[in-house]
Chains A and B, each alone.
Chain A
């Protein structure tokens, strides 16, 4: 992304600006339209100095709304939380492709889920690859939250967005097919995966011709457990759920900000074997039954991995 500050403008750019200004003065009505020959070839691409398309960009916000500078800041701030608070440990990180697109699919838990930043931060730190997090439209409706989420790599979970990221730009995209059904469940239902949406993530991976990498996360359930929910307040605020979390009780002394502080649960992340589909990409439709079967199979594998990890977990806080 071009990041030209005004002070760094090239002399060529200045010259072209001057030229444009002169053209405007001599032909005040037609601006730049008149200064080119209007033959039938007038609009055929002609080689022009690159300076004319010089981008006077001021920020490094990319087309998805992600800003590397903001991401860097987020990494600096989140680093200690990742390393000291949650003491995140990865298993099978080598299964995440280092090149090409892949759809990362994980379980989702906690009122403010810790799994999303943990996975995005971990992969960026350890593999040096950026991860775009696909999220619900709810984010985009909220002032400030939606903006920050977008700047640190969040993108609306829309099939077109996912296709473009995975197929055309060969990026890593992270999706939680449970959505708010996963994060909004109470502590009693911990580690019981909800329905995996309508299998849209499988269809997108098929269409984009990329593998799905299932990821199981243990610990985010305990980082912000929901004890009780208020459907009335949810309806009133338009949020998917308004919970009473254990954090609100534990950090109540900190005031309302206490509700945002996660409990220091140990987080373990296990990357499972990637799933590839031997189907032709770019098809308009894929077999519905095949999609549902694959979706259910991936859900089962993550569920089993979670149970296996829980069997070996001695302590919620120390792992």
Chain B
């Protein structure tokens, strides 16, 4: 019997991508996606269920559809997208509700994959060059997104302890770059002058969006459990990342940085949340050897991810964006109408 998968955040970039990738897998029987918003990518057989992050109908869905796998991609790591309040609701409260539903009596869930972030390690001058999965962060979190992600991982840990029969995988992704995804970092690199902090040239580790999806698939395929860092090989200085993008740095003053960036933020030119400023000062490296030992082979190094990103940056605005509009009736027709001839060769 194949897998029956539930994806949170189907309307987000990652939820949609994971669903697409899973659709191609014949071993996956059922894919159900939850989100408040409609999917933004075309999907063949994924069922979309509108639901907010309180997941009030989740235990019913799990029971009714005999869900055995949950892929929790609906975690906000980009704090520029929303207010801290919303982020707290989605990350902390959402995860709490999700795992409460997944551990309800009689739950059929056997596999959980959580898409976390290396933001949980923070970015501090006292950091080691490489964080491995067990290294504790050097300083308490200062930004809301880090705080909520730590709380999320706390709930995941509790769930794993309470449900030893479920294999729980936490994947901590470093900063993602790629042709299609927009992150605070990629937005900085798209600017004509890339902000940096004067006197600092932190080393960053990047992961390509393709490797993110592949890592999630690998976690499902190999039934991994535990925590894994996902980041391409190599630590790159920010100046070098900028150079690969063919840009120049705009150094911001190292002291009184808040005063300097606030006008820029007000004008909507750049969005520099505190966790990004810390990263631009101290950088972050994570040890990716555990996932490699589990059989993962990276497609892109950190530098490779930047190089691939910059190619898409050059055609951004020229290449027509793939416009897709979710039409409920059309999707229902294709999935459920008796007129559709199924089981085609």
Contacts and interface: CB of A to CB of B under 8 A. Distances in A.
Interface of A: 17, 20-21, 24, 28-34, 38, 40, 42-45, 52-59, 61, 63-65, 137, 140-147, 155-156, 158-161, 164
B303 interface: yes
Nearest to A1: B234
A147 B201 contact: yes
A33 B125 contact: no
Contacts of B296: 43
A59 B301 contact: no
A142 to B, nearest CB: 8
Given A31-B210, A160-B128, A38 B21 contact: yes
Contacts of B25: 38
A56 B306 contact: yes
Nearest to A54: B304
Nearest to A30: B20
Interface in B275-310: 282, 285, 295-301, 303-304, 306-308
A32 B126 CA distance: 38
B330 interface: no
Contact of A55 (B26, B210, B304): B304
B181 to A, nearest CB: 10
Contacts of A160: 128-130, 132, 135
Contacts of B237: 59, 61, 65
A164 to B, nearest CB: 7
Interface stretch (B79-87, B151-159, B185-193, B212-220): B212-220
Given A33-B20, A38-B25, A43-B296, A156 B128 contact: yes
Q: Is the interface of B mostly helix, strand, loop or mixed?
A: loop
Nearest to A139: B125
Given A43-B217, A164-B129, A31 B179 contact: yes
Given A20-B308, A57-B303, A58-B244, A45 B297 contact: yes
A31 B178 contact: yes
B264 interface: no
B47 interface: no
Interface string B307-321: 110011000000000
20 contacts: A28-B322, A29-B41, A31-B178, A31-B210, A34-B21, A38-B24, A43-B295, A43-B297, A45-B295, A53-B301, A57-B303, A65-B237, A140-B282, A143-B199, A144-B198, A146-B200, A155-B129, A156-B125, A160-B129, A161-B129
Contact of A34 (B24, B125, B127): B24
A20 B66 CA distance: 39
A38 B132 CA distance: 30
A12 B34 CA distance: 43
Interface in B1-43: 17, 20-21, 24-27, 41-42
Contacts of A32: 210, 299
A137 B26 CA distance: 52
B21 A30 contact: yes
B333 to A, nearest CB: 21
Given A61-B237, A63-B285, 12 more contacts: A29-B42, A31-B178, A32-B299, A38-B24, A38-B26, A52-B299, A53-B299, A55-B301, A65-B235, A156-B129, A160-B129, A160-B132
Given A38-B24, A61-B237, A140-B125, A24 B303 contact: no
A55 B130 contact: no
Given A65-B203, A158-B126, A43 B41 contact: no
Contact of B213 (A33, A61, A147): A33
A236 to B, nearest CB: 14
Contacts of A42: 217
Nearest to B197: A143
A32 B299 CA distance: 10
B239 A59 contact: yes
B254 interface: yes
A29 B295 CA distance: 26
Given A17-B311, A24-B179, A63-B129, A144 B199 contact: yes
B21 A33 contact: yes
B286 to A, nearest CB: 12
Contacts of A58: 240, 243-244
A29 B324 CA distance: 10
A54 B301 CA distance: 8
Nearest to A145: B199
A61 B210 CA distance: 26
A101 to B, nearest CB: 16
A61 B129 CA distance: 13
B329 interface: no
A185 B180 CA distance: 56
Contacts of A17: 307, 311
Contacts of B304: 52-56
Nearest to A46: B297
B343 interface: no
A88 B217 CA distance: 59
Interface string B229-242: 00000111101100
B221 interface: yes
A44 B203 CA distance: 30
A307 to B, nearest CB: 35
A140 B202 CA distance: 10
A64 B129 contact: yes
Contact of B311 (A21, A155, A156, A159): A21
Contacts of B135: 160
B271 interface: no
A145 B199 CA distance: 8
B199 A147 contact: yes
B209 interface: yes
Contacts of B27: 40
Contacts of B20: 29-30, 33-34
Contact of B221 (A21, A33, A43, A55): A43
